[in-house]
Amino acid sequence: MIDYIIVGSGLAGISFAEVALQNNRSIVVFDNNSQNSSKIAAGLYNPVILKRFSEVAQAKEHLLLMNDFFIALEKRLNNRLDVKMPILRKFFSIEEQNNWFTASDKPNLAPFLSTNLISKKFESIDSPFGYGEVLQTGYLDSASLLIQYKSYLLKNEMFIDEAFDYSLLQEESNGIRYKDIQAKHIVFAEGFGMHANPYFKHLPLDGTKGELFVIKAPKLKLDVIVNASVFILPLGNDLFKIGATYDWNDKTDLPSEAGKSELIEKIKEVINCDFEIVSHLAGVRPTVKDRRPLIGTHPNHNSIHILNGLGTRGVMLGPAMAKALFENIEYQKPLDKEIDIKRLVKKG
């Protein structure tokens, strides 16, 4: 008997797999490559909501945990995945500058918002009002992580590359059985694929489609991430990842002409040089209307659990949410009410 079956190997599934392995638990991961939001994600982590200059909930704690988590993960895979890089928020007016400095005086935001106005001129970007620098930011090379982690699991016979058949899942007195695998627990971390899951499809996972480009722009000289009407993430060799769109209606993971037009229009608002679209990517983010993750145990099945709804902040949230679920299962440590799926049970 193993400790955990994990269904899904995106950021949520990898986070739980890694927490389990770091705690000497045995696992097997199922994935058939049907969900791609983690694969195409920019992988940015940022403790500030830059639209409103407000703090992401529990940002300090989540960043600390994330840093330790990725140090251990990089050691396991023997590769650098976490790239520390400043995010510069472009100001569009004097009023935005003033709002930034007001926000930077708040105790919860002071560690993350520099009080120095950045007036550096970057080639091919007009910025008459300068930038504000967000601290403790960067990006995770999520596409490489997914490939390397799958390779690691395969090498250690902990990965099964096939679709999970819910009809074959059986409950037993001491856990669950799936085909010839007995496990104490199963954790579903399927992202938007949760809608096909009979145990959790009732949960209000909305899903927001995002599209982004990788562009080549030799005249765009950047060594930082710029946040304007789009984010611009330098990848090296004159390549940049640029996005993203938000579509609450289209639930397909295929690039669209509407998304392409929107991105091109937004890019031209920010940069004034020629660029070539190298690739156009799309995926459906697992978002929830109340902007809180979906973490917990099925009310009628003690061995069946969910880790989902990380939305646009999977890199920062993944390790913390995986740890919370693991400690809830293993040590009965209560989940925060804001993330526990029990909050969604209708009362009356």
Could you tell me which residues come within 8 angstroms of residue 341 by beta carbon, excluding any fewer than 6 positions away? 200, 203, 294, 295, 296, 306
Residue 312 above 90 pLDDT?
Answer: no
Residues 121 and 244 in one domain: yes
Residue 267 belongs to domain spanning: 84-138+207-285
Domain boundary (266, 285, 304) is at 285
Residue 49 lies in a domain: no
Rounded CA-CA distance 303/339 in Å is: 19
Residue 71 lies in a domain: no
Residue 296 above 70 pLDDT?
Answer: yes
CB atoms closer than 10 angstroms to residue 22: 16
Residue 262 lies in a domain: yes
Rounded CA-CA distance 139/44 in Å is: 4
The helix (run of H) or strand (run of E) holding residue 153 is helix 142-155
Closest by CA position to 302, among listed 335, 323, 338, 328: 328
Q: How many domains does the chain fold into?
A: 2
Residues 149 and 192 in one domain: yes
Residues 215 and 271 in one domain: yes
Contact 138, 223 (CB under 8 A): no
pLDDT digits (tens, 9 = 90+) for 173-203: 999 999 999 999 999 999 999 999 999 999 9
Domain boundary (285, 311, 333) is at 285
CATH number at residue 265: 3.30.9.10
Q: Please tell me the predicted confidence (pLDDT) of residue 99.
A: 95
Query: Most distant CA pair in the chain: distance in Å?
Result: 67
Residues 148 and 281 in one domain: no
pLDDT digits (tens, 9 = 90+) for 106-163: 999 999 999 999 999 999 999 999 999 999 999 999 989 999 999 999 999 999 999 9
Domain boundary (285, 306, 328) is at 285
Residues 222 and 270 in one domain: yes
Residues 119 and 168 in one domain: no
Residue 75 lies in a domain: no
Contact 186, 27 (CB under 8 A): no
Residues 123 and 216 in one domain: yes
Rounded CA-CA distance 21/157 in Å is: 13
Residue 79 lies in a domain: no
Residues 339 and 326 in one domain: yes
Q: Please tell me the predicted confidence (pLDDT) of residue 36.
A: 61
pLDDT digits (tens, 9 = 90+) for 239-259: 999 999 999 999 998 999 999
Q: What is the mean pLDDT of the chain?
A: 94
Residues 127 and 228 in one domain: yes
CATH number at residue 310: 3.50.50.60
In the three-class reduction of DSSP (H, G, I as helix; E, B as strand; rest coil), residue 347 is classed as: coil
pTM: 0.94
